[in-house]
Amino acid sequence: MATRAAHKRLTREYKSISENPPPYIQAHPSETNILEWHYIITGPEATPYHGGQYWGTLIFPPNYPFAPPAIRMHTPSGRFQPSSRLCLSISDFHPRSFNPAWEVSTILIGLLSFMTSEEMTTGSVSASETERKYLAARSRWWNSTGGGSHLKNEGSGAGKGNVKAGDGGLKFQSEWPEIHAENLKWMRDNKVDMVTGNKIVENPAASCGPQLGIPAGIAAGSGHQAHAVVDAVIQQREAGQGWLASNKLLLAGALIFVYVLIARLLGEGTS
Residues designated as active site: 87
Cβ–Cβ under 8 Å, residues 85 and 71: yes
Rounded distance between C-alpha atoms, residue 88 and residue 93, angstroms: 7
The burial of 30, by beta-carbon neighbours within 10 Å (0-12 exposed, 13-18 middle, 19 or more buried), is given as middle
Q: What is the dihedral of CA 94, 80, 115, 55, to 10 degrees?
A: -100
Q: What is the dihedral of CA 150, 151, 152, 158, to 10 degrees?
A: 120
Rounded distance between C-alpha atoms, residue 151 and residue 176, angstroms: 17
Contacts 24+ apart (CB under 8 A), 185-194: 186/140, 187/140, 187/141, 187/144, 192/141, 194/141, 194/145, 194/148
- In angstroms, the Cα distances linking 248 to 108, 259, 261 are 87, 17, 20
Say how many residues make up the chain.
271
Q: Residue 85's closest CA among 72, 97, 76?
A: 72
Query: How many Cβ atoms from other residues are within 10 Å of residue 212's Cβ?
Result: 9
Q: Residue 41's closest CA among 91, 125, 141, 110?
A: 110
Q: What angle do CA 84, 88, 90 make, to 5 degrees?
A: 115
